[in-house]
Chain A
Amino acid sequence: MSNFKINVRESSTVNVLDLKGYLDAHTAPELEKAFQNLLEEKKYKIVVNCRELTYISSAGLGVFMAYIEDVRKNHGDIKLSNMSPKVFNVFDLLGFPLLYDITKDEADAIQKFTSAKK
């Protein structure tokens, strides 16, 4: 049984991935699949809501790195929101806030997509 779950909320504008549980080397392929599905449908405006993400290791962080380039080439972005301090610390240790847009709330991330035509 997997201790990681992804809920996908698709819309015509911004697509939200809700992550829940433990994102490690075992569960990272599930997140890769979710990104692949969105990219196949040419959905490039993606918000990853980390509210229920309990844990992340570098295998999980690597997934974001794998898709950001493709997404930005297509005028989209991967924005991350609602991180617990514990999860944020891991992103911060690796300098991710320099390159990724990390917002407090999902609504802030969505608004950035809808207000700025990036």
Chain B
Amino acid sequence: MKTKHLHILSETEKLDLVRHFIHEAARRFGFDEESASKIMLAVDEACTNVIKHSYENAPTKGIDIDIVTNEKRFEIVITHEGKPFDPDSIKTPDMKKYLSQFRRGGLGIHLMRSLMDKVEYRTSRDRRSEVHLVKFLPTNSDH
């Protein structure tokens, strides 16, 4: 098992740094460009939600981003001390209905679920909130 770590302040300005960190790690792990881009977007969405909703745009809070890899499993854990997120409060929207009513927000959750193999919300032992995003490397038989 290997891990990588990045700590950022809760500012949208830092999203660029997060994307570089994730994209490079995903490519090194063996994902192709398309998959690495998808993982990068999912992590951008997760961090954006933490900054905007969990921390309500307070810029001096911390976000920890850890990458934990094991065999074909590539997992990103985003840890923060802001408001926890209740995943059950967001249902996968009917996109046609959603768009036709011109609603804003909530799209990020839907994107994360579409782009990753697994999205989970947990609480750490020290009571911090965690978002877990998992993507598996395709096996040879998937090609």
Contacts and interface: CB of A to CB of B under 8 A. Distances in A.
In the complex, which range does the number of interface residues on chain A fall in?
A: 20 to 34
B117 to A, nearest CB: 15
Contact of A62 (B12, B16, B37, B105): B105
Contact of A90 (B13, B41, B52, B99): B41
Interface stretch (B82-90, B106-114, B130-138): B106-114
A74 B108 CA distance: 29
A94 B37 contact: no
Interface in B39-98: 41, 44-45, 48, 51-52, 95-96, 98
**Interface majority SS (helix, strand, loop, mixed), chain B:** helix
A65 B111 contact: no
Contact of B102 (A24, A68, A95): A68
Interface of B: 11-13, 15-16, 19, 34, 37, 41, 44-45, 48, 51-52, 95-96, 98-100, 102-105, 107-108, 110-111, 114-115
Interface of A: 3, 22, 24-26, 55, 57-59, 61-62, 65-66, 68-69, 86, 90, 93-96, 98-99
